[in-house]
Structure 1
């Protein structure tokens, strides 16, 4: 909110401080220092991959240094708790994952933050989630998987985080097929896929780019895309294999509450420029991502709509009253 001052010598000084003239702060000369880009997961995961791709372009467009840091824990909640407590001057931004930022406050008494405290700037990437088993497994189809899961011995499934997109997919599949399976959460997608590839779990809910990268080491049974996924055209969707749900993670960037609208607009324009860059989009597609370019307003509407849908889903699953 803009403050109004009477034009006195003292007020004029106050204006200089508020606008940052000569002080290194404020919206008018943003950014005036290094921008910290916090990733609420560990290094090597999808959020990190995209931030590293964006880093040199952000530095060029914002004309400042960008420092990528990591604040992993609780499926991203530790990082988002840090975000909402940071100064709203645009020099601290954070990766933002949906549905995590909706499900965690909805299902936990104290996630450390509330969904409406996450101040969205843009969404730039989608990542459908698929279910896979080892390449040498006797399980070849979703029907085989369901039969095995019902055979008596509890199956373990690796996934990234609790009340994340992976966890939601696990709960939905378990509910639809009435399966008793164990979900094994990790601090990030990179750790989750390594747990699976190391033989520590029977299956994995994995992001589409990991499915593309490691497709020779696994048998991908189904994917949570709404239609055939371009990078994995031979893999059926869950809807095609008889499970009526989709599963995906949307990635974007957010700033602390009360950040100046001019600063948000600067960041929004910058991130959308990068998201709409043809070379960036081509790289994403080749790596198994879905390029997106949703601005602040559209992103907020998307979060609001999904919040309503997830509330209904969580009630159906018995996760909330």
Structure 2
């Protein structure tokens, strides 16, 4: 009896020690390096800047943002798994980028190799026109495109991006042919719209938030209307089953332990559920999303199926 008691005590102590070791492995040890695989000023950078003060306030460590642009994010993502997985370095990730790019060619990483632990927001796709545009509604644009095939020009952020895939999907749904004009980034696409180089833009709700009275948003790709734009209908309201945009999240090197991955998922979830943070994001045109580590596989599988199907149909991948 005494021997069995000591064995039970020993087992309990072993479990306690194991838990303590796991907890210690999942502690931050100084400032965190948050790498944005794009240049400064874009939506990825803006949302990271919004997270910074909340991270410091809640977890007592500085979040230092750095940039590693190149290849539409591919340069950074190709280096991620070569970094130390102790939890002191994280990197922003974007959809559809991390799905489409490795499907097109060898870019130094695969979607499956990225340890994405949280998706925290998306910028919904939207069709945006100048405030003085003759298109007052989405139907106005569709009617013009039907009467004048390929004559309705629409700027967007690059090829095989969320904007480009939205353009392909909508043209098919509406049975129209518009001309997509890719630019290097959202800023350049907006400049083209405001400069009357194109008739409309495949942009995001954040563009409408930033440009204010200079533009008019005809429709937004959300399940429900964006609270910042209560008068703008969703595509679904208008008969087009479109919900999506550019999704943004964060990843760790794939050498990070399960404990470190879960720790980070929990921390970003805590920031994401802070009412002040959520309001700041909504006020700037973002749409909130809460996909944590334990739901990431299902989320990524669904997005991959959708994006790859659209890209194949458009001839963007084989």
The interval holding the TM-score normalised by the smaller chain is 0.7 to 0.9
Corresponding residue for 2:240?
243
User: Offset at 1:179?
Assistant: 0.7
Corresponding residue for 1:194?
191
User: Offset at 1:246?
Assistant: 2.5
Structure 1 residues 72, 205: CA separation in 2 closer, same or farther (over 3 Å shift)? farther
User: Offset at 1:280?
Assistant: 0.9
Q: Of the candidates 203, 217, 220, which is equivalent to residue 206 of structure 1?
A: 203
Give me the whole-angstrom Cα distance separating, in 2, the residues matched to 1:185 and 1:83: 27
Give me the whole-angstrom Cα distance separating, in 1, the residues matched to 2:264 and 2:35: 15
Structure 1 residues 162, 62: CA separation in 2 closer, same or farther (over 3 Å shift)? farther
Corresponding residue for 1:126?
122
Structure 1 residues 65, 219: CA separation in 2 closer, same or farther (over 3 Å shift)? closer
Give me the whole-angstrom Cα distance separating, in 1, the residues matched to 2:123 and 2:114: 20
What aligned pairs does 1:7-22 form with structure 2 within 5 A after superposition?
none
Contact 1:75–1:162 (8 Å) recurs in 2: no
Q: Which blocks of at least 5 consecutive residues in structure 1 are unaligned?
A: 1-20
Contact 2:156–2:180 (8 Å) recurs in 1: no
Q: Which has the higher helix share?
A: 2
Give me the whole-angstrom Cα distance separating, in 2, the residues matched to 1:197 and 1:263: 45
Corresponding residue for 2:180?
182
Give me the whole-angstrom Cα distance separating, in 2, the residues matched to 1:120 and 1:56: 22
Contact 2:151–2:179 (8 Å) recurs in 1: yes
Structure 1 residues 182, 136: CA separation in 2 closer, same or farther (over 3 Å shift)? same
How many equivalent residue pairs?
295
Q: In the TM superposition, what whole-angstrom CA distance separates every residue of 1:185-226 from its partner, at most 9, and x where no partner exists?
A: 323x34433343344433212221221232411121211112
User: Offset at 1:68?
Assistant: 0.6
Q: Of the candidates 75, 79, 82, which is equivalent to residue 82 of structure 1?
A: 79
Corresponding residue for 1:73?
70
**For the pair shown, which has the larger CA radius of gyration, 1 or 2?**
2
Give me the whole-angstrom Cα distance separating, in 2, the residues matched to 1:53 and 1:213: 16
User: Offset at 1:169?
Assistant: 0.6
User: Offset at 1:27?
Assistant: 6.0
Give me the whole-angstrom Cα distance separating, in 2, the residues matched to 1:317 and 1:139: 27
Is 1:276 aligned to 2:280, yes or no? no
Contact 2:114–2:252 (8 Å) recurs in 1: yes
TM-score, length of structure 1 as denominator length? 0.82
Give me the whole-angstrom Cα distance separating, in 1, the residues matched to 2:72 and 2:196: 22
Corresponding residue for 2:141?
145
Of 146-155 and 281-290, the range deviating more from structure 2: 146-155
RMSD: 2.6
Q: Of the candidates 101, 109, 113, which is equivalent to residue 113 of structure 1?
A: 109
Contact 1:83–1:92 (8 Å) recurs in 2: no
Of 50-59 and 227-236, the range deviating more from structure 2: 227-236
**Secondary structure of residue in 2 paired with 1:299:** helix
